[in-house]
Amino acid sequence: MATHDGTSRKIIHIDCDCFYASVEMRDDPSLGDRPVAVGGRPESRGVIATCNYPARSFGVRSAMAFSQALQRCPQLVLLPPRFEAYRAASKQIRAIYADYTDLIEPLSLDEAYLDVSNSPLHQGSASRIAIDIRDRIRAEVGITASVGIAANKFIAF
C-alpha cells in the first residue's frame, strides 16, 4: 500500500494497557501491585470490564462474573467504573496523538490507529514516533500503552 507520494504507509496501533484499571491505579497509589478489577457494582451479579496484570495472573479476565473472579482471587479489589476519569484520560491521550497526525481512527477510549505515513517528525520514522507517543502517554497521563506498527491497520493490530 502506497501513500500519495509513493512511499509505504505507516500505521501505528496504540492500545493502553488495562486502561480502566490503570487509571484507577494511577489515581489511587494505595492499590500498588494488588490485583484490581473494574466492573459493575460488586454487590450485584456484575462482570469484570477489565483487570490489571496481577489479577490476570490469578486467571481473572474481562467478562468474567464477579463471583468467579473472587473465587480465583479472593484478595481482588473490585472497583466500580468511573467513566468521567476514563474520558478525561482519553482526552489527554488523543491530544498527544494530534501532535503527530490528523489521521486518527479511535477504536475506543484507549485504543486508536494513527496514520503517520506523511509525518515529517523524527525523520518520518514510525518506530520513533510510536516510542515517543508511548513515552508521552506514560509521562503525561501516567499509564502505559502498547504499540504496533505496520503498512496497514490489520497487521499493526
Domains defined along the chain, listed by start: 11-19+83-156 (3.30.70.270), 21-79 (3.40.1170.60)
pLDDT for position 125: 86
C-alpha distances in Å from residue 83, one per residue of 87, 88, 109: 6, 8, 10
Query: Is 15 within 8 Å of 116 (Cβ atoms)?
Result: no
For residue 95, pLDDT beyond 60 = yes
pLDDT of 134 reads: 98
Which pLDDT value is given to residue 118?
79
Q: Which is higher by pLDDT, 37 or 5?
A: 37
- CA–CA separation, 60 vs 96, rounded Å? 31
Handedness of CA 81, 83, 84, 86 (dihedral sign): positive
104-108 sheet: strands from edge to edge:
104-108, 111-115, 11-16, 145-150
Question: Can you give the pLDDT at residue 1?
Answer: 45
The x, y and z cell numbers of residue 7, run together, are: 512511499
Residues 119-156 have pLDDT tens digits of 766 566 899 999 999 999 999 999 999 999 988 766 65
Predicted confidence (pLDDT) at residue 48 exceeds the cutoff of 80: yes
Give the global pTM: 0.87
The catalytic site residues sit at 111
Confidence at residue 123, expressed as pLDDT on a 0 to 100 scale: 62
Rounded Cα distance, 67 and 82, in Å: 21
pLDDT at 24 over 90: yes
Residue 45 is predicted with a pLDDT of 74
Q: Does position 89 have pLDDT exceeding 90, yes or no?
A: yes
Task: Identify the residue with better confidence: 36 or 156.
Answer: 36
